Amino acid sequence: MSEIRQNLVTKDWVIIATERAKRPEDFKKKNSVSPQLPKFEKNCPFCPGNEKDMSPEETLRVDKNGKWQVRIIPNKYPALSRTEERIRTVDGIKRKITGAGIHEVVIETPLHNTTTALLPKEDVESIIKSYKIRYNEMLKDERVEMIIIFKNHGEAAGTSLVHSHSQIVATPVVPAQVRERFHDAQQYFDENLECVFCKILAEELKDGKRIVLETDGFVSFIPYAALSPFHMWIYPKRHTSSFGEISNNEMEDLAEHLRIVLLKYYRGLDNPDFNYVIRSAPTGLKNIEFFHWYLSIVPRITKTAGFELGSGMFINTSLPENDAEFLRNVKMDL
């Protein structure tokens, strides 16, 4: 028998249809990003040697042993313009804003054939530190209302370039969905005098069944109403509403935590396509007691269909408790 669970943060109702359950093995699939590729590819705009000819000038660079380890560059085909003025207009049913904002690419490693899960901890830490620097720099841009840091890994996750990278987009408006969730979180706080994220974290730790990994500063778990198989949330234990406030200790801990979790996917589900995204408060709001930043990972191993498009409800064929147990048990020794 299926059951319908509500996600307290997104308010989504998710049909957990266990009769249709697959085994984790059934999700395994050949992936386009693979260590079988060459370490260097001469036509790849992210490979060393092509910095000047094939990519715009960098906005940040982290070196290691005299060479770059992480580079952040403006997106060559940006969705939003760094120089455009932000102008909002309304003309009857036509409401619009100029495409003002920032769109950057984080090249996560000089190697063409690797991925975050396989990097040493200190390289993952360099990526996270780079995120923070650019995040806080973009905060100063008065046109910016929201900063979204995300990664697309593999074709099903929407990327066309295999060289490991993530993206940062700073938008001139707070997305409607974010505004809704913010409103709901505020209402929860009003009624319960606590942050809904802190509450979920405490309950999940007490229950334990959906926990994948706990380290000093972070907890990974499969949400009670996960939207799709192996959908995961990584929550910082310390309450802060903005990713820009992450501390040095937390960055070090998150680097190792994220690396382990991604390696569990890599090994357990055979390098699945996935997206991750850092969900942080809109930039105009500081130290919000009712909102908590977090990182969300969505393996792209199932497809959304007309039902999801037409209702906003999801059908998850995996039981969150089983997914968490599976990932907990992925062997992590070398």
* Interface of this chain with a second copy, residues 164 to 183, rule: CB under 8 A: 166-167, 169, 171-173, 175-178, 180
The stretch among 9-17, 41-49, 127-135, 237-245 that binds a second copy (CB under 8 A) is 9-17
Nearest distance from C-beta of residue 6 to a second copy, angstroms: 4
Instruction: Rule CB under 8 A: choose which of 159, 220, 271, 283 binds a second copy.
Output: 159
First to last CA, the chain: 40
* Complex with a second copy: residue 115 or 166, whichever CB lies closer: 166
Nearest distance from C-beta of residue 15 to a second copy, angstroms: 5
Nearest distance from C-beta of residue 48 to a second copy, angstroms: 25
CA dist 109 and 70 (Å) reads 6
* 250-289 binders of a second copy (CB under 8 A): 275-279
Question: What is the contact mask toward a second copy in residues 87 to 126, using x (rule: CB under 8 A)?
Answer: -----xxxxxxxx---------------------------
CA dist 185 and 127 (Å) reads 29
Question: Does 193 help bind a second copy (rule: CB under 8 A)?
Answer: no
Instruction: Give 9's DSSP letter.
Output: T
Amino acid at 225: A
Question: What is the contact mask toward a second copy in residues 36 to 55, using x (rule: CB under 8 A)?
Answer: --------------------
SS3 320: helix
Catalytic-residue membership of 183: no
CA dist 181 and 224 (Å) reads 17
Report the candidate in 224, 190, 198 with the shortest Cα–Cα distance to residue 292: 198
CA dist 251 and 40 (Å) reads 29
Paired tokens of 184: 């709901």
Instruction: Give 51's DSSP letter.
Output: H
Give yes or no for a contact between 272 and 138, defined as CB atoms under 8 angstroms apart: no
The residue count of the chain comes to: 334
* Complex with a second copy: residue 49 or 312, whichever CB lies closer: 312
Q: Which residues does residue 71 pair with via DSSP β-bridges, in sequence order?
A: 61, 107
Instruction: Rule CB under 8 A: choose which of 25, 306, 331, 334 binds a second copy.
Output: 306
Give Cα separations from 130 to 5, 8, 229, 277 (angstroms): 37, 31, 30, 15
**How many residues bind a second copy, per CB under 8 A?**
74
Question: Does 209 help bind a second copy (rule: CB under 8 A)?
Answer: no
Question: Does 30 help bind a second copy (rule: CB under 8 A)?
Answer: no
Helix boundaries (H) for 139-221: 176-192, 196-207
The stretch among 22-30, 38-46, 144-152, 211-219 that binds a second copy (CB under 8 A) is 144-152
Instruction: Rule CB under 8 A: choose which of 118, 133, 139, 148 binds a second copy.
Output: 148
CA dist 45 and 8 (Å) reads 42
Question: Does 8 help bind a second copy (rule: CB under 8 A)?
Answer: yes
Selecting among 103, 112, 165, 257, the annotated active-site residue is 165
Question: Does 29 help bind a second copy (rule: CB under 8 A)?
Answer: no
Question: Does 191 help bind a second copy (rule: CB under 8 A)?
Answer: no
Q: Which residues does residue 149 pair with via DSSP β-bridges, in sequence order?
A: 168, 278
Give yes or no for a contact between 55 and 46, defined as CB atoms under 8 angstroms apart: yes
Paired tokens of 61: 């660079």
* 309-328 binders of a second copy (CB under 8 A): 309-313, 315
Question: Does 303 help bind a second copy (rule: CB under 8 A)?
Answer: yes
Nearest distance from C-beta of residue 313 to a second copy, angstroms: 4
Active centre residues (catalytic): 165
